[in-house]
Structure 1
Amino acid sequence: MSTTNTKALGYTTMLISATLMGCVGLFARHINTSGDVIAFTRFTVGAIGTLAIILASGKLIYLRGTRLSPAIICGGVSLGLCLAAYVSSTQHTTLANAVFLIYTGPLFSSILAAIFLKEKVDKITGCLLFLVFIGTLMILGLINYDAATGFTMSLSFKAENMLGDMLGLVSGFGYGLYLFLSRYRTDVSSEIRSFYNFLFGGLGIAVYLILNPPSLAMMDGSSWLWLIAMAFFTGFAALGLLAVAARHLKAAELACVAYFECAVGAGIGILVFGESMTAFQAFGGAMIIIGGVGQVVASTVVDHFSKLRQPTPVPETVRHTH
């Protein structure tokens, strides 16, 4: 597969994954249980669905033959840690702080990839990544603007919120570590990698559930249906596609499109739940879309011109005539 086609596959799967992840709020508002139970169900359904695909495609032999490495194990555990820590963070600090800290993850992954994988972040990607990050802070209301007061930030780091802020930082680092580790072992197929991501992520959350048992007393038939549907779309499908995208995109490229999740979530809030959005927040959403689309276009253009600059190979018959 050519580099251009590989990039196209990576961006397509990442865009679909981010869109599905942005629908988490749509499902979660119909489920009467805690976020850690939701996260565990997402991983469990994801593992079962991915295993079914592996069995149906006759790839069980590859699953058995795949050598587990720290990158594969820690990748799944870090994703489970991310979701569990985020749930706890929202209980001990402000929602604004928790959301901000988990969305530092893509930035962490870009920095780690630049240091350890020597993935260069070109100026265009760097600028677009900064653009979508600022746009995310704007659409989430973490950065506000008012004609009377000017620019303000709703983040407030206080001593009484220290535990929650630290857990939020752990969730962001876990998210970034997962994106970073997904760049290792690209020799492993997407289905195999997804299965192990789900398996070890689920095991990580299972430990958390044992230490902090959840309550299912409020779960009715409707909640269970929404939970299973959410696990399929935002677990099996979204995280499975993320594993595909991670094989074909650099960490910074992944990050630029990952923030599209925020724009989708905000759009669903307006269209489905009648939530309001200020013009300043809408401008932030536009920045996210422009940054994500700009990264896709810029990457495609760069790959196209790089291909044109490559020397045309001389046919064997021509070389022998000289």
Structure 2
Amino acid sequence: MNTKTLGYSTMIVSAALMGCVGLFARNINTSGDVIAFTRMTVGAICVFALMLHQGKTMLIKSTKLTPSVIASGACLGLCLAAYVSSTQHTTLANAVFLIYTGPVFSTILAAIFLKEKISKLTAGLLTAVFIGCLFIIGIINYDSTSGLTVSLSFSKENFIGDMLGLASGVGYGLYLFFSRYRTDVSSDSRSFYNFLFGAVAIALCFTVNPPSLAKMDTSSWVWLISMGFFIGFGALSLLTIAAKHLKAAELACVSYFETVVGAGIGISMFGESLTALQTLGGILVIAGGMGEIVLSMAKKHSNAKQAKATTQQ
């Protein structure tokens, strides 16, 4: 197996596991923050054990902790807590599409605080993601009687879940933004500290709103521990392998497979449905998120081809 094939294979499996969050969450009788905390804690323990086995624990000790390292981990933990809770209160499609609005918030923050310029293409793609988000949560709606309408009234059944989904998108955007401040940290150390500070942030929330485990039965515990191992440690380990063989843009493209898996599980296993506008919204979110990456990759490939042709002449 060549390195690209290995990279894509591991990334696809990693994204598929991430897309199963809702399946696990709906079989666990406790709140989303408890589920996210377990996932973060199991992930931190497993990553540390793996680094210990590989003799890389010195990387953890040598990493200088700064506010951005702590904040990126905390935002990731809180983002996942909001996302898991979202899957319990709205459709899996809504939850997984809304968390992927994160790159929009990250790009806006980078433009404001890092003075990064937003091209016309980027602005257009961000607009597509924003409109897609409005379709998904029902601000822009359509019915045969009223036609296309714009309203701030939300579905009572999905309102809490959709708002948690948006919150997870904001948290994901903040995580991406803070991660850009310390590119010198190794991927292993970054993973460990993300899990660690994610768990700490959720634990601090427990002091304000203590969790309840009263409804947890044997089945719930099995699902909870399995989720921590497979979707916490397993998905991350595969992502780490993929990152060694794929470029960042290639990783980002494949990661959107998670939205397809999440929506597919909701439709096939839980009998959920998407309206035509929600489907269009999901397509806009995926297209907007992947559009610039795909075009950038195509442009680089074209430039490389031209450079090669020039040298051969």
Would the TM-score normalized by the shorter structure come out above 0.5?
A: yes
The residue correspondences of 1:1-322 to structure 2 (distance < 5 A) are 19-84=16-81, 105-153=102-150, 155-156=152-153, 172-238=169-235, 261-307=258-304
Aligned letter for 1:193?
R
Residue by residue, what CA displacement relative to the aligned partner does 1:215-243 show, whole Å, maximum 9, x if unpaired? 11211111111112222333334466778
Structure 2, unmatched stretches of 5+, are 89-93, 155-159
Distance 1:217 1:211, change over 3 A: same
Contact 1:193 1:243 in 2 (8 A): no
Question: CA separation in 2, counterparts of 1:152 and 1:190?
Answer: 46
Q: Which amino acid aligns with 2:202?
A: I
In 1, the alpha carbon distance for the partners of 2:65 and 2:262 equals 35
Bigger CA drift: 254-263 or 126-135?
254-263
**For the pair shown, which has the larger CA radius of gyration, 1 or 2?**
1
Q: Report how many aligned residue pairs link the two structures.
A: 302
Question: 1:259–1:288: 8 Å Cα contact kept in structure 2?
Answer: no
Asked if the contact 2:12/2:254 (under 8 Å) is kept, the reply is yes
Distance 1:22 1:164, change over 3 A: closer
Distance of 1:87 and 1:233 partners within structure 2: 15
Summarize deviations over 1:79-114 as a string: whole Å, max 9, x none. 2333456788999xxxxx999986653322111223
- Partner in structure 2 of residue 160 of structure 1: none
User: Which 5+ residue runs of structure 1 have no aligned equivalent?
Assistant: 1-6, 92-96, 158-162, 315-322
C-alpha displacement at 1:286, in angstroms?
3.4
Deviations, residues 147-168 of structure 1 (Å, cap 9, x unaligned): 32122356449xxxxx999988
What does residue 91 of structure 2 align with?
Answer: none
Range that drifts further, 291-300 or 254-263 = 254-263
Aligned-residue CA RMSD in angstroms?
4.5
1:162-194 CA-to-partner distances (Å, cap 9, x unmatched) read x99998876554332111111222221211101
Q: Which amino acid in structure 1 is aligned with residue 48 of structure 2?
A: L
1: CA distance, partners of 2:119 / 2:243 = 18
Opposite residue 213 of structure 1, the aligned amino acid is: P
Alpha carbons 1:129, 1:256 under 8 Å: kept: no
Q: Offset at 1:24?
A: 1.7
Aligned letter for 1:116? F
